[in-house]
Amino acid sequence: MHYSEIMVRYGELSTKGKNRKDFIKQLGKNVRAVLHPFPNLEVKAQRDRLHVSLNDEDDEAVINALKGVFGIENFYPSIQVDKNMDAIKQTALQMVREQYREGATFKINTRRQDKHFDYNTNQINNILGDYVLTNVDGISVDVKHPDIAIRVEVRMNGAFLSSEKIQGAGGLPVGTGGRATMMLSGGIDSPVATYQAMKRGVKIDMIHFYSPPYTSEQALNKAKQLTSVLAKYSGNIQFIQVPFTEVQETIKEKVPEGYLMTIQRRMMLRIAAAITKNRHCTGVFTGEALGQVASQTLESMMAINDVTTMPVLRPLVSMDKTEIIKIAKNIGTYDLSILPFEDCCTIFTPPAPKTHPNLEKSRKFEGYIDVDGLMQRAMDGIKITDIKPGDEFMNQNEDVFAELL
Ligand code: ATP
Ligand code: MG
């Protein structure tokens, strides 16, 4: 069955009162952006719902693209027919037949926008219901919990029928929640945290620290590849890579071993907060979850968070690893995340990092290094890449990749 349009229902945004217009406008923009590869279709974002006229574009591909767009509650692929009862009857019957399994129940649910149409909603429900009952053996009506639900909408420009409701991604349209940075490692957690931030409408810029020659080109490409996967949910993402070698080497040389990790993290966050401010973003997201590793105790978070007043947001803070992994698999980042290229944080990790670092000592030991100079040089070495959904960065590692997957 080839669909002629998709009727999209808004999620939470319908409750947002005066911001509603902005939300609808942003969602329209985001939907147009993901549907960019389909030049013939038309997107109309209206007050109550959004309509995508397919105009012969590949309906399945469009449906898949829409599933990733935040701000969509659900959507109904629909078939448009002329506004005459015969055409409507035929299409309704065809839809029921396609889904019919022995003993199934059905329901017709009609809405009428065109008040001049010859029949009212009750009459339409009855006519179509009778027609299906006479033509499909063994079927019966169940208005409460039907196996097959046919929606009929009589609008000014035609009658639209649908039988399938597809769950959307929920959340809020990306761009309505402001702009923030994300500290992206190559691990499992930070890509999931990125997804959660985007889901609340936040436009994300990625910050990734790398330490050549201790970290490989593959580790950097892996972070970029993860960004390319996440860009499917938000449109293009700016990927900011920050050289961290000098900072780490200096810390390793000057700071007592128990505080290596804490001071490294403080420097990371300082630099991330400075980049965030320069870019007029208003928060830093991380993939930290309480209790996962040494740096993720409350004391540790306090000792690290001390370097900035910028909001540090941790969408995964109270989630279990199993819950995080489940999301990572769903959003398509898990297989990349488990590729074993070393992150800059793991290479200088002491055998016994302090799980309960002391704030005063952290400040004192940080005084042993030239914080401002190191920060400045790291920021001077920044490179920015604009990453589009589907961009490929792992090609040169094809062999490694094939072996590992
Ligand atoms: P992840 O799975 O996200 O790597 P993790 O459980 O391995 O998290 P850590 O490695 O301690 O935990 O990192 C905690 C957080 O610090 C990460 O979620 C990420 O936000 C940030 N982070 C770690 N390494 C980097 C890096 N190289 N560049 C940018 N941010 C990083
Ligand atoms: Mg990690």
Q: Write out pLDDT tens, residues 203-254.
A: 999 999 999 999 999 999 999 999 999 999 998 999 999 999 999 999 999 9
In this model, does residue 147 exceed pLDDT 90? Answer: yes
Of 276 and 390, the structure prediction assigns the larger pLDDT to: 276
Cα-Cα-Cα-Cα torsion 52, 53, 59, 63, nearest 10 degrees, comes to: 0
Q: Any idea which residue has 């860009």 for tokens?
A: 231
Name the average pLDDT for the chain. 92
CA of 288 to the centre of ligand 1 (A): 7
Domain ranges of the chain: 5-167, 179-400
pLDDT attached to residue 293: 72
Residue 301 tokens, joined: 């978070």
Which superfamily does 179-400 belong to?
Answer: HUPs (3.40.50.620)
Which residue's alpha carbon is at the smallest distance from atom 11 of ligand 1? Answer: 295
pLDDT attached to residue 340: 87
Packed helices 260-278 and 298-305: angle between N→C axes, nearest 10 degrees: 50
- In this prediction, residues 49-65 reach a mean pLDDT of 93
pLDDT attached to residue 400: 53
Which residue's alpha carbon is at the smallest distance from atom 10 of ligand 1? Answer: 345
Q: Mutation test of ligand 1: which of 196, 336, 345, 383 has the most ligand atoms closer than 8 Å to its C-beta?
A: 345
By the 8 A CB rule, do 34 and 234 touch? no
Q: Given pLDDT bands bounded at 50, 70 and 90, which one contains residue 348?
A: confident
Pick from 299, 70, 97: nearest CA to 201:
70
Between 101-105, 197-201, 393-397, the lowest mean confidence (pLDDT) is in 393-397
Q: Given pLDDT bands bounded at 50, 70 and 90, which one contains residue 296?
A: confident
CA of 367 to the centre of ligand 1 (A): 24
Q: Is 51 annotated as a binding residue?
A: no
Ligand 1 atom with the smallest distance to the CA of 192 is 3
pLDDT attached to residue 16: 58
Which residue's alpha carbon is at the smallest distance from atom 12 of ligand 1? Answer: 288
CA of 168 to the centre of ligand 1 (A): 29
Provide residues with CB under 6 Å of ligand 1.
183-185, 187-190, 207-209, 286-288, 292-293, 295, 343-345
Ligand 1 atom with the smallest distance to the CA of 210 is 27
- CATH class as words, domain 5-167: alpha beta
In this model, does residue 17 exceed pLDDT 80? Answer: no
CA of 253 to the centre of ligand 1 (A): 23
CA of 344 to the centre of ligand 2 (A): 9
